Amino acid sequence: MDAPPPPGFSRYLTLFAPYKWLYAWGLLLLFLSNAFTLAVPRLIKAAVDRVAPPQGGDASPSTLWAPFVDGPWRLAGTLVAVGLILALARTASRVVILGVGRRVARDLRRQVFGRLLVAAPSFFARFPTGEIMSRSIGDISLLQGVASPGILYTFNAVFMFSIAVPYLAWIDPSLTLYLLLPFPPLAVTTMFAATRVRRYAREAQEAMDRLSTRIQEALGGIDVIRAFTLEAEQAERFTEANDEYLTKSVQQALVRGVITIASVLTGGIGTFVLLWIGGQRVADHTLSYGDLALFFGVMGLVLRPTIYLGWVLSLGQRGLASLERLDQLLLAPRAIVSPEAPEATGPVRGTLEARAISYRYPGDLERREALKGISFEVAQGKSLGLTGRIGSGKSTLLRAIPRLLVLTGGELLVDGVTLERWDLAALRSGIGYVPQDGYVFSLSLGENVAFGAPDATPAQILEAAKVAELEKDLDQLEDGLETVIGERGVTLSGGQRQRLAIARAVLIRPPILLLDDALSMIDAETAVQILKNLRQALPETTLLVAAHRTATLLGVDELLVMHEGEVVERGAPAALLADADSRFAHMHERQKLEASLRETL
């Protein structure tokens, strides 16, 4: 993914750099469309002067315009031709400029998503998923508006004023000055209101974040809400967030309305000035009917971009608020990165060694160590089991191997090289990690299995499903591997999701396979069979299995019993069971008794 642009406001200007020539082409077309737009009132002036010539003059228009207004048919043809050219130039300018805005938004989305992929866990602890979604979609869409119609209307106003004002001043400087007098108060009003728009826009966007989070949490926990009959409470929380967003949006709209009113009022004052002073000058024969018609025509053309300019200033302030919010995504602290000059770049063979490793979770006020001086070795193709009570450190230890966290002490080596000296992508590509929740994507079952190996054949996918004991479930699904299993696998049981996740890892045939309590929702008999299948299908793979259920781990080569971050027992499962005083033996007997009682009841 692309790296985020450099710090500061300039980071967003760099997004436009690849499209500067497209912008230049679009602005040239926009300038031409404005020039042809102003040609229309000039043609009307020539026609009016022909019908009602200036006092003391003749009915002949200027030499330049005479050929175009010589008779009604020629005037009509000229207006049609100018209209066609104007329409083509205006349409082309909008297609180009608005297209650039869409490309800029696409690039910004890519950068935001790329940053999210490497963001540290602390970032996701701070920002809920709903808030990230709101910023990634809503704020970027608003910035697309700044980069598209915002740029378009700004330059449209600049071009229109730069052409129209000098031309009107050439015809009648004093009348032009009178027309421009309302614009300074408009500018002051607009700037004052725009600063408030920015504040209200930020508050409205933050309210939308909270609203999005409410929806995301409610949908994600819909079964819990229904089980505890909390529908009314959740509806009330949603209503509060929804009403807050409405209030903030209305406040923002009211301030934006001030800008619109000021712009329209400016146009009304200009029209009044033109009727009053311009009418007097026509009566005094110092201004022709054609010139008055020209002033009215140009006034209308200038007024429209003036009103839009007020909207653009409001949009720009809302865009600045969005930039501040996107900064928090684009500048999110990175998780773990590869060393600049890695010692190992793969492929991973599969030997593991831990030397007195320790870890403390960031932000733990009690400064407890999740891992305390753990050491072990696992040869390639061997298996290591981890067991212990919840919170004993099993998952923390497994997550340290693919560098999903950074150890605070000791060394963890893969193939004799410390993790810090491995190329991160090469290290992780050699490790299959299956967490307990067995995350499932909104794809077909086969696509989920092949998520890490998209080029896998159906036969290879089916073979991986067999290893994970998932094949028997395919017969129960109407479309087999092609069955779409819904968001987060809602149509599958917990055990099916775990077996699917194991099949996904099997398909990539990793040199190291980590099962982080990934058999907890699978019955004991099937779990043992899956481990046997793994040993047969992946004989050279180093296997680490964390499990609370002791029966699952009886077939591993070595077992570590953990308690409060420490290894309190180690050895072959059979040897530990033979020691009646061992913690593992006590755990095993207690679980056997619990299973027997469940069967009896």
Report whether the peptide linkage leading into residue 347 is cis, meaning its omega lies within 30 degrees of zero: yes
User: What number of H helices and E strands is found in the chain?
Assistant: 23, 10
Segments of the chain scoring below 50 in pLDDT: 1-2, 4-8, 57-61, 63, 365
Q: Is 532 helix (H, G, I), strand (E, B) or coil?
A: helix
Q: Are 481 and 444 in contact (CB under 8 A)?
A: yes
Of 314, 337, 308, 316, nearest in space to 12 by CA: 316
Cβ neighbors of 592 (< 8 A, separation 6 or more) are 551
* CA angle, residues 36, 40, 46, in degrees to nearest 5: 130
H or E element: which one contains 413? strand 409-414
- What tokens appear for 29 in the block? 């077309």
274 bridge partner residues: none
Separation of first and last alpha carbons in the chain: 56
Please tell me the CATH code under which domain 10-330 is placed: 1.20.1560.10
- Residue 522's identity, in one-letter code, is I
Q: Are 171 and 294 in contact (CB under 8 A)?
A: yes
Strands 352-359 and 371-378: antiparallel
Q: Please give the Cα distance from 400 to 512 (Å, whole number).
A: 13
Q: Are 252 and 200 in contact (CB under 8 A)?
A: yes
Q: Are 371 and 400 in contact (CB under 8 A)?
A: yes
- Are both 10-330 and 382-402+430-600 of the same fold? no
Q: Please give the Cα distance from 210 to 216 (Å, whole number).
A: 10
Of 561, 555, 563, nearest in space to 584 by CA: 561
Predicted confidence at residue 68, as pLDDT, reads 58
Predicted confidence at residue 410, as pLDDT, reads 93
pTM: 0.70
Task: Name the residue with tokens 């009646």.
Answer: 580
Q: Are 530 and 469 in contact (CB under 8 A)?
A: yes
Strands 558-563 and 383-388: parallel
Q: Are 353 and 233 in contact (CB under 8 A)?
A: no
Q: Please give the Cα distance from 388 to 560 (Å, whole number).
A: 9
Q: Please give the Cα distance from 515 to 386 (Å, whole number).
A: 10
Strands 431-434 and 352-359: unpaired
Q: Please give the Cα distance from 71 to 250 (Å, whole number).
A: 54
Q: Is 65 helix (H, G, I), strand (E, B) or coil?
A: coil
pLDDT digits (tens, 9 = 90+) for 418-461: 999 999 989 999 999 998 887 787 788 888 889 888 888 989 99
Convert 161-178 to b/e letters by CB count within 10 Å (16 or more is b): bebbeeebeebbeebbeb
Tell me the HSE value of 167 on the side-chain side, using a 13 A CA sphere. 18
Report domain extents, the chain: 10-330, 382-402+430-600
Q: Are 361 and 407 in contact (CB under 8 A)?
A: no
Q: Please give the Cα distance from 42 to 36 (Å, whole number).
A: 10
Q: Are 470 and 480 in contact (CB under 8 A)?
A: no
- What tokens appear for 225 in the block? 């809400």
Write the class of the CATH domain 382-402+430-600.
alpha beta
Q: Please give the Cα distance from 136 to 48 (Å, whole number).
A: 55
